[in-house]
Structure 1
Amino acid sequence: MDFKVAGTREGITALQMDIKIAGITAEILAEALAQAKRARFEILDVIEATISEPRPDLAPSAPKIDSIKIDIDKIKIVIGKGGET
């Protein structure tokens, strides 16, 4: 089982689970969530000991995301014919 959990002290914000078997029991899921909570809090303790609050400004080298809207009839120009690039 591959199980990833992200979140804050208030709760889970995202999770992902990949399993090879048909399913898991509620007990296994509960234990996995409990372990993830302990680990998340441990990580948050280290983060908070390093920096207690977010910096007011991002560093110039911080990653940035830009979004653009592409008209549906122009998408083939961006991704190629039939999505083949």
Structure 2
Amino acid sequence: MVDKQKLNAGFTGTPAEQPEGLTKAAKSAADGVTREVYAVASGVRAHPHTASALLLGTGILAFGLGYLVGRSSTESMTGRYWR
């Protein structure tokens, strides 16, 4: 039999050294993003109609701006052709 106290099959604890420098900054940023995602998700769950309206309005606005930028770039190139 294998002695269970000597068996160390995997890491199940916390690291001995606390993160510092770039690792600490990345962990802090990831924790912040996670908190914001949960906040947005709970807001959407509480107000689904408002969230749908905001998403639809943002999509319409983005489409309109893209259309206007596309139209202005084609109008400035009239008369220019590759030969």
What TM-score results when the alignment is normalised by the length of structure 2?
0.37
Larger RCO (CA within 8 A; separation ≥ 6): 1
More helix by share: 2
CA radius of gyration, larger in: 2
More strand by share: 1
